[in-house]
Chain A
Amino acid sequence: MRKIPLLNSLAGRITAVVLTSISVALIVFTLSLTAFDRASSVSQLDGRLTTIADIAGQNSTAALDFRDKDAADQILQALQRESHVVSACLYDASGLLFSEYRRDSYDAPCAERVERTLSEQQGYRRVQRGVLRKGDLVGTICLTSDMRDVAERERRMLLLAILLALVALVIGGVSGSVMQMRITGPIKSLHHVIHDVVTSESFKARAPVAGSKEIADLASAFNRMLEELEHRDEATHQAEANLHSQARTDALTGLPNRRLFTESLSQAVAFARRTHRNLGLLYIDLDGFKHVNDSLGHSVGDQLLCEVGKRLSTRVRRSDMLARVGGDEFTVILRSVEQMDDATAAAESLIQGLTHSFRIEGREISIGASIGISTLDESLIDAAELLKQADSAMYAAKRAGRNRAVHFSSDLGNLARERHALESELRGAIGRGEIYVQYQPEFDLISGQLVRFEALARWKHPMLGEISPVRFIAIAEESGLIHEIGKYVMEQACREAVVWQELSEQPIQVAVNVSAVEFHSESAVEEIIALLERTGLSPDLLQIELTESVMMGPVHRAADKLYKLRDYGVNLALDDFGTGYSCLSYLSDLPFHSIKIDRSFVRKLPGTSESLILVNSLIGLAHNMQMRVIVEGIETPKQLELLHDMGADEAQGFLLGRPDGKPRERLQPLQHVPWHTALPSIMRRT
């Protein structure tokens, strides 16, 4: 703090003012008192002198009248008793000196004539009085007195005044400093409070309300100001906190937004680097959300996002962070990941969490999630790269059939480039006749008869040769080319099936795969019906195979379409059963005729007892729901035997017949399960 000179301080000024005013007052008082006292003692002296002169004069009248000088001398001699009277001159009526008295100490003799009387010397006082006898002037008396008494008294008076002044000065000084302390004390404490406020940067402090009314008013006003400031400060902090959280929170779901996610990811990556820990990142994209948004509106979409956010939150550990980074994209930072499997488990848990459908505005909506997983591991990638990896893994998950989690691998990058190239090749592939259809037979396991062909799209690239359907179908779905391809395949299949009926005595069904993307299109059912009418294929000869992802989105819509198709007479099969994460509960409410157990289950057979039990359970489950069970991917007689024993209704696989472009050849004569490869148990059953 800057040092303020004493006189510049309020305290110094007050003291100075008090002392100065007291001093001035005392000086004035002392001087005027002394002067007044002097005047009063002089006038008192004059009065006394006058009285003495009058008495002496009165006593001298007879002496004057009768010219008795001795008597006059005697009378004047009596003035000796008045010690201050130094000279007395008695003049007769004619003004001549008649008698004189003079103290030894006084050296000025009386004037011979009264009119020559001089004014008194310095330090003396003279009184001249007429001597009257009953009103007649008989003489004049002139008395001179020294002023020792006056001077003495004056001296004493001055001494007393100075003493009093000193006492008053001390009292004034003390009371002044008391007053000053009363004034400046509260001001000082006020100052301390201000200082505290400044140094602590908090408006919590309060000044003591004390001292005189003005100071107390000032203190309470100051306190009110502090309160106001505190309120405003709190409001400001609140507003700042709100802004801060708003800027980092997704308004819709209340989850952290992309900004906070990006910050947190950078911190988490840095922290993991420092502590040599692993870090996992999940990139979640909802499957079927676009369909919900398009068909039910944004309001429902928004509510769905909220619910998805809540659902996901319950499956995210406290140490991890779930964020919404885009329309239907979520991310999870997995801070405590040891290895890749942990991240995969977390992703599968999230997918599992979404299997229960949501109920929004009275509608049941099912949604899936494709999750890309990336982990830091030992690599030196940064947060941005980690995010990129998760993103491409997520796309890979989409391509892999949605509603699944895919861990990033370095191949994904290449695949993406390849995919891009393929997509442009795929465009126009139909026109160029590169897309064609193959048919794979399916057999009834009871009768052993061929009952159906599954139509499979194939792409023969002029340069690259056969492109795997797994690859190009995913590309077609993402690019929307699937509609064109799907229609083409369905038309081809239907026309072909019509021909089959003429060749075979038994009705032969045709199974066509319809992707979720196709199925969700507004006119999917109408188009199928129109196609059937156009081609003349009986609806009961068409089996539409749908994957579980069809159920993603508004359940009732999918159900409506399914019911429409079933009512029209079309058979419905649930494809790839067991691979998705569908909730089985609604399956019984949907009009599927059959389910197709995914080949991945069959491939494990005959493996452990666990896989047997699993397949057995699936078959039992389907039968309980009054559905037929189709098994695909049968490659060995053992598998066929096992599945037959478990009660599977129909079978498909390389063992029984590869897909080819010559289905008609299997109809004349109608092909049966090639019993020569089958086991005796099947024979027995038949």
Chain B
Amino acid sequence: MRGLQYFRRSVRSIWLASLVCTFLLLAETLPVHAQQDARSVRAAFVYNLTKYVTWPQPKQNLVIGVIGDERTGTTLKQMLDQQSSGGQKVRVLLNPPDSELATCNIVYISSSETVKTGNILSGISKMPILTIGESDHFVRNGGIVGLIRSQDQIQIEVNVDALQLAGLKMSSRVLNIANVISTRGH
């Protein structure tokens, strides 16, 4: 019974994902004016990224820890929590305590947390945690993926060194379209 329920949910979640994507894409076609639009796009990007990143020890749930302002957290939670990605259920934790960060697969750090970013990153940089940030410096500061707003688009930046350090693998397709940055040698 549980299997069947899970299956039904999976089917439903696929539909949902499609709807979300459609929604997002529809939103994309429109000029991005509002911050909210940017947050939604970033949330969709995060969701999409989960499909291109491979964690060394996949678990049942894909836990996303969101550190930052409430609106970003809410948007992510609203859009991604309970979603399914590659058979994993997405769980969004809002501002989890540092102790729980280690259990996260993804740590999303919003631009409001610029100050704390360095500490957070240094704490988890060697863990298999995909760190995603919004600021221009996030990747250069040791973050793995930066979703940078550039004019009316969101630009993906990837720090391959940090990615490697974290022990994660990212699809080359993302790397193809991303702005790849290497901090080694800097």
Contacts and interface: CB of A to CB of B under 8 A. Distances in A.
Interface of A: 58-59, 61-63, 65-68, 71, 92-94, 96, 133-134, 136, 138
Contacts of A93: 18, 21-22, 25
Nearest to B48: A65
Contacts of A68: 156, 177
B150 to A, nearest CB: 12
A62 B171 CA distance: 9
23 contacts: A59-B176, A62-B52, A62-B171, A62-B176, A63-B176, A65-B48, A65-B51, A66-B48, A66-B154, A67-B28, A68-B156, A68-B177, A71-B176, A71-B177, A93-B18, A93-B22, A93-B25, A94-B22, A94-B25, A94-B26, A96-B25, A133-B51, A134-B51
Chain B interface: which size bin?
20 to 34
B45 A66 contact: yes
Contacts of B171: 62
B20 to A, nearest CB: 11
B86 interface: yes
Contacts of A59: 173, 176
B11 interface: no
B18 A61 contact: no
Contacts of B174: 62, 66
Contacts of B177: 62-63, 66, 68, 71
Contacts of A65: 48, 51-52
A138 B20 CA distance: 12
Contact of A62 (B18, B29, B154, B173): B173
A38 B177 CA distance: 40
A610 to B, nearest CB: 165
Interface in B32-53: 45, 48, 51-52
B62 to A, nearest CB: 14
Interface of B: 14, 17-18, 21-22, 25-26, 28-29, 45, 48, 51-52, 86, 153-154, 156, 171, 173-174, 176-177
B156 A66 contact: yes
A58 B172 CA distance: 11
A96 B30 CA distance: 14
Contacts of A94: 22, 25-26
Given A59-B176, A68-B177, 7 more contacts: A62-B177, A65-B51, A65-B52, A66-B45, A66-B48, A66-B177, A71-B177
A133 B50 CA distance: 12
Nearest to A68: B177
B155 to A, nearest CB: 9
B14 A136 contact: yes
Contacts of A61: 173
A92 B29 CA distance: 12
A63 B171 CA distance: 12
A39 B154 CA distance: 47
B59 to A, nearest CB: 18
Contacts of A136: 14, 17, 51
Contacts of B25: 67, 92-94, 96
Tell which of B22, B25, B28 has the most Cβ of chain A within 10 Å: B25
Nearest to B87: A134
In the A-B complex, the 9 residue pairs with the closest CB atoms = A62-B173, A71-B177, A65-B48, A68-B177, A62-B174, A62-B177, A67-B28, A94-B22, A63-B177
B6 to A, nearest CB: 16
A97 to B, nearest CB: 11
A136 B47 CA distance: 13
A29 to B, nearest CB: 49
Nearest to B147: A66
B86 A134 contact: yes
Contacts of A133: 51
B178 to A, nearest CB: 8
A63 B28 CA distance: 14
B9 to A, nearest CB: 16
Nearest to A138: B21
A61 B51 CA distance: 11
Contacts of A62: 52, 171, 173-174, 176-177
A5 B177 CA distance: 83
Nearest to A62: B173
A137 to B, nearest CB: 8
B12 to A, nearest CB: 14
A96 B28 CA distance: 12
A633 B86 CA distance: 178
Nearest to A67: B28
